Each structure stands twice: as structure tokens, then as C-alpha cells.
Amino acid sequence: MNFEQNLIKRCWREQRLKLCLGTLLTLISIAVLLLIPYLFRVAVDSVLPKQDWWALLIIGTEIIGVNLLAVVLILFSRWFILNATKEVICRLRNDLIKRLLFGSYEQYAGLNRGVVHSRIIDDTERVDIMLNALAINLLPGALAAGALIILLFFLSPGLTLLLLITVPLFYLFNRYLWIHLQRRIKIFHNSFESFNRGVRFILSMFELTLHQNARKLELERQHRNTRKLQSSSQSMALMNTAYTQGQDLLVIIATIVILLGGGFAVQNGKLAVGELASFYIAVMILKTQLRTFSMAVPQYVSGRESLKRLQLFSEMQPDNFYRGTERIVFQGELGCHHLSFAFPNKKPIFKDFSLTINKASVTGLTGPNGSGKSTLLNLIFGILHPQSGHLTADSTAYNDLDMENLRHQIALVPQNPIFFDGTLKENLIYGIAEIDHNWLHKVLDWTSAWYWIETLPQQLDCLIGENGLQLSGGQRQSLAISRALLRKPALLLLDEPTNHLDYQVMQRLLNMLHSENFSGSICIASHDPRVINCCDQVITIAGIQESI
């Protein structure tokens, strides 16, 4: 079953009561409006010939009252339907975000972030509009049109059959434009996605553009994107207009056919003027329903294309490699037992690799670039999974453990720390449910971060920009280590901490942790021999089949 069918089934299964009530109220409002042709017939055939102006005023007031009642019914109908569709879209977005957050690290690494961002934001909005169009306009419009045609048949079978002659013309016209509209909407979606991706590239790669002196080149590239978007947007808008205007033209043709046929019937005494007037009013109501229907078709087509693009997320699998449920109070002793690991379609990084990190010890990982130090830290953190072998925490296998609980007791500081656009404090406490402010200031002192934070005008409330753009490399590194220590981890994983941080700061941190009786274990991947010399044990990783 595809994504579209799943969504429609979910919408019906979870919200059918509201959808049925909304549709029922819409049909009642149409039934109420059908009183208008009858009132016109009475006015033309009975009241006007008698020149009873008081009765005519009463009928006019009744027509206004009928319209007001229909408006109230439609408002209530829209409330039920919108409440249902918005709830479905909210759950769809939550489901997509959950798939993204709980997918495997390998899947995430292979994603195009610009594409994913565009599909979650833009495509779900188009699906939202599609559901509204389907529930508010298309389905009720189709039901109302069917009911009106039945009414027209009772009013005048001959004129109704004359009207039905135009149906094949409607079908062929809609079929032709549907195909072309679908094609243009798909081109527009692709162009919009390219434009979105280009803007995100500029925002995230601004420094690269400066360093490579590529601003003019990038401007030309983005101009091509905007031109494609302009062309596809214009083409889609013209096709939308052609579709709705074509529908109006067909309705006008049908109306002229009715007037000609009806006029001929009146002239020959086979139809009263009031009957023709009431039939014409009913046709005008039908025209309104058909126009509402036709204006919703482009939105429906656009939403269907977006649903096809969201199929990407249905292929994402949750990261359920470790399915254990056991929770432990981790003491910091970790073991790697005969691990073998390789990225998809790559050479093995580890083969039959074993390692033990003792409780409250400092372990150093050294070796050339690409030897697997960062990969080993990710395996220990549990976001990568070995193809064979296993890991243990305090002698309990990772496969038996609740990995979410274990990760709360391990902190990883990557080579390139990640920050979001917010304050220093918001970035420091991200992911921590409760913060101990005394512990916060102690950690900032250990990492020497407080020395530069206290010089800032707003200190911890200072904004740092997207990904910490307003901070130096050393400040970002000290902030990242502080954030990791705030978790009070049983195992601290540091990946090349002296890339941006002075050795003296790192040495002071290790000394402070030792003097403060830090009970956790530390594993440091580093090229710096001075840092490696501070470790209790050193492991050199130079390729596969390393075993300690």
C-alpha cells in the first residue's frame, strides 16, 4: 500500500465521525439552497402575475434567510472537516519527524538534508491543502452535483437530458488538462526543491563561499535555480487558470444550451416561465458547485505529487539494532569483543577487534587519519553497529541493554561540535532535563570556558549564532566539552579535543577531573602525543585486525 492510500485510510479511520458530520452538514446546506429555485418559481408563476408586492417582499426575505441558514451550516461543516484534516496532518508531521529522529545513523548520513527539509515543510503543507480540498470541496461538491442533477431531472427531464449532452465534453476536457496539470506541478515541485536547497546551501556554506572566493559563481548558480522556478511556477499558474477558465466556459456553453432549449419549450407551451426560471437557478447553484470542484482539482493534483515525494520516509527504518530493555547504572567499564565493521560498499575498518576500557581510567586512541578512531567512538556510543562481535557495558551486552538509557550515561564530543542558533546556556543544557547550576559553573571552570564567558555582556544569555558562528574554534570546543560533562557521564568520549583547544587547557581539564575525583572513564582519540602521554593506556589503531 502506498503513502497516499495509507494517509486516506488513516484520515477515514481516525476522523470518520467528524468527516461524516461535516459532509452531512454540507449536503444539508445544499438541500437548503435548493429551496431558492422553488421560491423563484412561486414568485414568477404566482406572485408577479397578481402584482402582490407584499408577498414578493416576503419571498425575497425568505430567500435571504435560506442563504443565511446555508452559510451557518457551511461554517459548522468546515469546522468539523478542518478539525479532522488538521489533526491528520499534525500526526503525519509528527510521524515524519519521529522517523527522522529515530532512524539509523547510517541512513541519516546518506540523506540530502535540503531535500528532506523541503519535503517535511513544503510537501506536508501541500498535502494539508489537498486534504482540505478533498474533504471540503471535491467529495461534497461531487455529491452535491449528483443531487442537483437528480433535482434538475424532476424539474424538467427534457432540459436535464439536454444538459447531459455536454458531459462527454466535460470529461474529455478534464482528462486532457489533468495530465498536463500533473506534469507541470511535478516540474514546479522539483524546481522549488532545488531553489530551497540552494538557499540552504548559501546559509550553511557561507564561509566556504568566502574562502573559495565563489560568491559570483554561487550567485550565477542560484540565478539559474530562480529562473527555473519562475518558468515552472508561471507554467503551472497558467495551466491552473486554463483549467478553471475552461470549466467556466463549458458551464456557459451548458447554460446557453439550456436557455435555447428552455426558450423553445416555453414558446411551444411545454414549459412555464417559472419552471424555466427555477431550472435556471438550480443550474446556477450547480455551476457554483462545479466551479468549487474545479478550483480544488489543482490543489488535489499538487497534494498527490507531494505524497509521492513523501514516499522517501516510508523507506526509512527505525534504528532498532539494539532492542534490549535492561537498564543499568553504568560504572564506566566498557568492552569491545571481536568487532568487525565496514560501511556499506567500503573496505573493512575493523576485523576481530577487541578492547577493554577500565572503570575510572583514561584511554587514548591514536593512529593515522582514516584508521577508524572516530568510527570506534561511534560504535561505543551505539549509533553505529558492528557486523559481527559485540560490545559490553559493565559486562552486560549492548544487545540486552536499553540503549537510550545507556546513552544518557555516555557523552560524546565529536571533532566538529554542533551548535544551534540560541544562547550559550540553551546550547549547554540542550538534552538535559534538570540542570544543577552549581555543577554548571564548576564544569565551566574545569574547561576554562568561564574565563571568556564572564567577559561577555550577557554572559550565559549571549547569542552565539548559527552553529556557534560568533565563537572561536577554541571557545566552541570548550563549550562542547562542558556540555558533555554536564551530563555527569560514566564514560566521556573525546574526538580530537585539541584540534581547536590549547593543550594547556586540555591538561588542566584532565588534572581538574583527577583532583575532583571524577569517577567516570575517559576515552580520547588524538594525534597529539602530549595528550596521549596523559593516558593510562594507549591503543594504536592502524587498520583492520587490531586487538588489545
pLDDT (tens, 9 = 90+) of the chain, 548 residues, equals 466 667 777 777 777 788 888 888 888 887 787 777 777 777 777 777 777 778 778 888 888 888 888 888 888 888 888 888 888 888 887 887 777 777 777 777 666 777 777 778 888 888 888 888 888 778 777 777 777 777 777 777 877 777 777 777 777 777 777 778 778 888 888 888 788 777 777 766 666 566 556 777 777 888 888 888 888 888 888 877 777 777 777 777 777 777 777 777 777 777 777 777 777 777 777 777 777 777 777 788 888 788 777 777 776 677 777 888 889 898 889 998 988 888 877 888 888 888 888 888 888 888 888 778 888 888 898 888 888 889 999 889 988 988 888 888 888 888 888 887 788 888 888 877 778 888 888 888 888 888 888 887 888 888 877 777 777 777 888 888 888 888 888 998 988 877 766 777 777 777 777 666 677 888 988 887 887 887 888 888 875 544 44
- β-strand 410-413 against 388-393: which pairing, if any? unpaired
DSSP 184-248: HHHHHHHHHHHHHHHHHHHHHSHHHHHHTT-HHHHHHHHHHHHHHHHHHHHHHHHHHHHHHHHHH
Q: How far apart are CA 484 and CA 270, in angstroms?
A: 90
* Residue 439 contacts residue 486 (beta carbons within 8 Å): yes
Residue 121's Cβ-side half-sphere holds a number of Cα atoms within 13 Å equal to 10
Q: How far apart are CA 19 and CA 219, in angstroms?
A: 48
CA distance between the termini of the chain: 50
Amino acid identity, residue 441? Answer: H
Entry pTM: 0.72
Q: How far apart are CA 546 and CA 341, in angstroms?
A: 12
Amino acid identity, residue 209? Answer: T
* Residue 19 contacts residue 135 (beta carbons within 8 Å): yes
Q: How far apart are CA 416 and CA 429, in angstroms?
A: 18
What region, left, alpha or beta, does residue 456 occupy, with left being phi > 0 and alpha being psi -120 to 50 degrees?
Answer: beta
Q: How far apart are CA 225 and CA 2, in angstroms?
A: 31
| Greatest extent of the chain over all pairs of C-alpha atoms, in Å | 112
Residue reference for cell 560568491: 215
Q: For residue 548, what pLDDT is reported?
A: 42
In terms of C-beta distances under 8 Å and separation of at least 24 residues, what long-range contacts does 213-217 make, across chains too?
Answer: none
Domains of the chain and CATH, by start: 3-314 (1.20.1560.10), 334-540 (3.40.50.300)
Q: For residue 203, what pLDDT is reported?
A: 66
Q: Which residues, 6 or more positions from 65, have their beta carbon under 8 angstroms from its beta carbon?
A: none
Q: Which residues, 6 or more positions from 455, have their beta carbon under 8 angstroms from its beta carbon?
A: none
Q: Is 345 helix (H, G, I), strand (E, B) or coil?
A: coil
Q: How far from 265 is each of 160, 167, 261, CA to CA, in Å?
A: 13, 22, 6
Q: For residue 263, what pLDDT is reported?
A: 77
Residue 468's Cβ-side half-sphere holds a number of Cα atoms within 13 Å equal to 19
To the nearest 5 percent, what fractions of the chain are helix, strand and coil? 65, 10, 25
User: What are 73's strand-pairing partners?
Assistant: none
Q: Taking the CB of residue 228, how many other CB atoms lie within 10 A of it?
A: 17
